[in-house]
Amino acid sequence: MLYRKIKEKIENKLKNGNKIIVVDGARQVGKTFLVRVVGKNLYKNFHEINLLDDFNSYRVFEKIRTIQDFYLQLSSYFGRELGNKDDTMIFLDEIQIYPHILTMLKFLKDDDRFSYICSGSELGITLNKTTSIPMGYIDILKMYPLDFEEFLYANGVGDDVVTNLKDSFNKKESISEALHIRIMNLFRKYLLVGGMPDAVNTFLENNNIQFVRDIHTEITNFYKDDATKYDKQNKLKIMRIYDSIPSQLSNKKKRIVIKNIENIKGKTKSNYQNEFDYLLFSGIALGVDAVSNPVFPLTQSDDKNLLKLYLNDVGLLSNIYYKENIRPILDDSLSINLGALYENVVAMELTNHAHRLFYYDNKKNGEIDFLVDDYENSVVIPIEVKSGKDYKIHSALNAYLNSGRYNSKIGYVLSNNRMIEFNNNIYYLPIYYMMFI
């Protein structure tokens, strides 16, 4: 079984918490499998109800409005296998299908007859639009594809190595050449495979890139199919935006060009807010908002009405770019710009670490790839991501740090280079140290 950091968090909350856990995440990130493993391990009776299957068949739970009716239906499914809160868990999968069941969690928790856990693949959309969410009764945990640290564990890298890497990052020390080569080799494979559990398991089992790419293509098609089912009126606009992400990331600016969505001039980001909300709240895309005058915390900065979008998994992006051709990524001697892939990985990693994503866009000074809050020091950290040998060329970052206008003491440049350097308030770090930002 793949190691997932969220597993321990779920277990601890089930043992020590007093709320119903709701696992939110995009399709295919491993929510259902992980909940099954945890539930079957901790409870004598583990019962799963897939509400999407219910919706597509008899719709037994569609008209339930009281907990008495809910219990009656449970008994019809599981009968004598229902115990009490300590030995029985009810897993409500795809709960976003029935928002009224989500609202009912408050009353189920108050009654406290059984233990519950829920998940949903488009749950973020429902949570954003439903006004009667029982927030004091549920604990929402976000789940994403495997991050790079989890990918290292999956490929046999031990705890001691990851601990050594983290210590080296904290001390700002370079690691050995041999370890650097090993980690960079796995980083490039991560660009190919990404973090979707099915893709990672397939890669580990047979090392067949065509099988991995088949999974990537299937997941991309799932996402598009979900979009057409969710919003039939705006499905074409959603798909046009989603399909445009790889080409937008290949451009110098990388941001979404609003006029290209429908080839209509004069429209702004707000004209497509519903479509962007779907992509972001469903978890299939990661949004990075532009700010020109950043302040800590970044949520207080003025939004420039500009947006960059990344895919939720770098494997999906490399599949679109390169299909089964692995040489552009694995052969470091090829002069191919992998900047979009590198940035997508960093966006994934920062999102996994609960950072809301921003980038710096200033008409005078230029752009910086990412800005993140450093809560320990109450400052903003600018981050540049470089895939080539010109990693010390970053005029926008220099201007940003030298301006004296922003509350930023240091900046990071992430690249392929092994050696850690500190010059002019900039730390030059290997790309894999993104794990610890």
pLDDT at 230: 72
User: Does residue 40 share a domain with residue 128?
Assistant: yes
pLDDT at 125: 83
Amino acid identity at 380: V
CATH of the domain at 108: 3.40.50.300
pLDDT at 30: 97
User: Does residue 180 share a domain with residue 100?
Assistant: no
User: Does residue 198 share a domain with residue 114?
Assistant: no
User: Does residue 166 share a domain with residue 130?
Assistant: no
> Containing domain of residue 80, as a range?
5-142
Domain boundary among 93, 125, 142: 142
Domain boundary among 91, 124, 142: 142
Listed as ranges, residues in the chain with pLDDT below 70 are 231-232, 332-335
Sequence-separated (6 or more) residues with CB below 8 Å from residue 306? 255, 256, 269, 289, 290, 361
CA distance 245 to 239: 10
pLDDT at 334: 58
User: Does residue 216 share a domain with residue 297?
Assistant: yes
pLDDT at 405: 84
User: Does residue 13 share a domain with residue 131?
Assistant: yes
pLDDT at 301: 87
Q: pTM score > 0.85 for this model? A: yes
pLDDT at 193: 98
Q: How many domains does the chain have?
A: 2
User: Does residue 233 share a domain with residue 97?
Assistant: no
User: Does residue 368 share a domain with residue 231?
Assistant: yes
pLDDT at 6: 98
User: Does residue 56 share a domain with residue 197?
Assistant: no
CA distance 106 to 115: 13
Domain boundary among 126, 142, 158: 142
Pairing assessment for the beta strands 421-423 and 426-430 based on DSSP bridges = antiparallel
pLDDT at 335: 59
Q: Which of 191, 153, 197, 151 is nearest to 29 (CA)?
A: 197
User: Does residue 165 share a domain with residue 111?
Assistant: no
User: Does residue 154 share a domain with residue 137?
Assistant: no
User: Does residue 271 share a domain with residue 345?
Assistant: yes
